[in-house]
Chains A and B, each alone.
Chain A
């Protein structure tokens, strides 16, 4: 049996969750006419938008798109790591002002520090945000147990498999109990089998933690399997082509992919993604 979640210890003590009730209807993320241009060799390249989007609190939204469609740019904008060229972003109703401790990010490539142990890596947010050490350590150990990394806490990242590294990166992202979890192709560097296993595990974890999540991926099946909603993006400059509810029951597992509704949604998404090439 899993130990009981000691999440509240960290968040209440550190004041990371400022008691915003999830039920007041304010979307976690809102985008209004957001665009992003890059300058490349003196020429302006339109990477994204315009995009209007609202992500309701507590939901899991998957964004699928062809490579180079600006979906990672979208995530960076929501994370506050980049500023939009035009338009406005709001996070929990307030104008976005750079990165926030209420946002946890799982990057495409685990980005674990090679000189630090798994536990030290997971504890990084606690160190940087000066969270109470004992409570953070308790939560870190609980997360490591939850993701099957308990026995690897003292190991250096290079001794871990790809899937284990990404699990550790996930633990780090949720250590400070962020309201919003951003996942930038978190399984992109993994083999197909590990991918599927890990995405189902993530789905379960996300349900346990009950936070808002935004997943960026190029894998349609993964997007449907995890999402309450899937958003399909067009080629560069990326815009929303389809925004669709995934009305599949939870918890989802390996059998979900055989559900007729799953197959139907998968088909719609596929056709839309392939159609772009003929246009």
Chain B
């Protein structure tokens, strides 16, 4: 006793233990009260179903992840130049920024049926929906980042007669980096939701489609397995961005 780091172990183990206990309670509750499997399946039933449907689940995971990542990357590619234009030309700022802020308030998922109506049921409508939900958080955060420059730093650059380009490269871009990653972390979480919504409205593949189909056929455990996978995708993508952030933003504000 005494030397064993009980405190460190218990701090690290708390969260897994809570999840484990909740899963046990779930399993026990379902068995004890004889809850029908089509209402709430037991964890063991979900695992069994997931094993049985593994190839389909994996394929549809690939579809949904692909839509999510393509949409996210395209949103990034579109929003960054626009953020630069808004931050550096006052005309663009006056004209575009109010429109973009207005559009930001539109609940993008409500546009999903329209996007499907216009573009059909292929992969692109889902990617477009993902772009719509990712675009604004990235844009707004990056524009804010370009403007988060402390005045003394600007004075320093002015005192060197730095050009607008030099101020952008040496000062505004590095300052905006943490803001860019904040925007990306919000966007990637939205992106998964966007892809699923697109698949809900009209699709023949993807995890969203699987959830819809399996609930329609009372195969609730399969729906749970798909939901679990979506959660894992969301978490994995979020941490992937956080990993990149830690690699590229090594400074402390």
Provide the residues of chain A in CB contact with B152, threshold 8 Å: 107-109, 111
Interface flag for A128 (CB, 8 Å):
yes
Q: Which residue from B166, B177, B252, B253 sits with its C-beta under 8 Å from A128?
A: B166
Q: Is A111 a contact partner of B161 (Cβ separation < 8 A)? A: no
Given the interface pairs A111-B153, A111-B156, A115-B174, the reply to whether A101 lies near B161 with Cβ below 8 Å is yes
Q: Is the CB of A107 within 8 A of B155?
A: yes
B99 is an interface residue with CB less than 8 A from chain A: no
CB-nearest residue of chain B relative to A110? B152
Find chain A residues with CB under 8 A from B158 CB.
Answer: 81, 99
Cβ–Cβ contact A158 & B252, under 8 A: yes
- Please name the residue on chain A nearest to B152 by beta carbon: A111
A47 close to chain B: CB less than 8 A: no
- Whether A105 lies near B161 (C-beta < 8 A) is no
- Distance of B133 from chain A, by nearest CB (Å): 30
Q: Quote the shortest CB–CB distance from B182 to chain A (angstroms).
A: 16
- Indicate whether A233 reaches chain B with its CB closer than 8 angstroms: no
Check A128/B162 contact, CB under 8 A, given A107-B152, A111-B156: yes
Contact of A124 among B170, B177, B250, B252 (CB under 8 A): B170
- Which positions 83-106 of chain A face chain B at CB distance < 8 Å? 98-101, 103, 105
Q: A247 near B: Cβ within 8 Å?
A: no
B251 within 8 A of A: yes
> Cα distance A156–B174 when bound, in Å?
14
- Does A129 interact with chain B (Cβ within 8 Å)? yes
Asked if A32 is at the interface (CB within 8 A of a chain B CB), the reply is no
Query: Does A99 lie within 8 Å of B161, measured CB to CB?
Result: yes
Interface residues of B in 224-253 (CB under 8 A from A): 249-253
- Interface SS of chain A: helix, strand, loop or mixed? loop
CA distance A105 to B158 in the complex (A): 11
**Binary per-residue interface labels of chain A (186-221) against chain B in the complex, 1 for a CB within 8 Å, 0 otherwise:** 000000000000000000000000000000000000
**Set of chain B residues within 8 Å of A127, measured between Cβ atoms:** 166, 170
Chain B residues whose C-beta falls within 8 Å of the C-beta of A68 in the assembled complex? none
Distance in angstroms from B104 CB to nearest chain A CB is 29
On chain A, the number of residues with a Cβ less than 8 Å from chain B's Cβ atoms is: 25
Interface centre among A114, A124, A128 (most CB of B within 10 A): A128
**Chain A residues whose C-beta falls within 8 Å of the C-beta of B249 in the assembled complex:** 115
Question: Does B160 lie at the interface of the complex (its beta carbon under 8 Å from any beta carbon of A)?
Answer: yes
A99: chain B residues at CB < 8 Å are 158-161
A79 at the interface (CB under 8 A from B): yes
Q: A103 near B159 (CB under 8 angstroms)?
A: yes
Which residues B205-241 have CB closer than 8 A to chain A?
A: none
Contact (Cβ within 8 A) A128 B157: yes
Answer yes or no: A66 CB below 8 A from chain B CBs.
no
Whether A114 and B166, one on each chain, are in contact in the complex, defined by CB atoms closer than 8 angstroms, is no
Contact check, B156 vs A105: say whether CB atoms are below 8 A apart: yes
Q: Does A125 belong to the interface (CB within 8 Å)?
A: yes
A125's partner among B150, B160, B174 (CB-CB below 8 A) is: B160
A79 touches B159 (CB 8 A): yes
Does B84 reach chain A (CB closer than 8 Å)?
no
A53 to B171, CA, bound (A): 35
30 pairs, CB–CB < 8 Å, chain A vs chain B = A80-B159, A81-B155, A81-B159, A99-B158, A99-B159, A99-B161, A100-B161, A103-B159, A107-B156, A108-B152, A111-B150, A111-B153, A111-B155, A113-B171, A114-B251, A115-B249, A115-B250, A124-B156, A124-B160, A127-B166, A127-B170, A128-B157, A128-B160, A128-B161, A128-B162, A128-B170, A129-B160, A156-B251, A156-B252, A158-B251
A residues adjacent to B (C-beta < 8 A): 76, 79-81, 98-101, 103, 105, 107-109, 111, 113-116, 124-125, 127-129, 156, 158
Besides A99-B159, A109-B152, 12 more A-B contacts (Cβ < 8 Å) are A81-B155, A81-B159, A98-B161, A101-B160, A101-B161, A105-B159, A107-B155, A114-B251, A114-B252, A115-B251, A127-B170, A156-B252
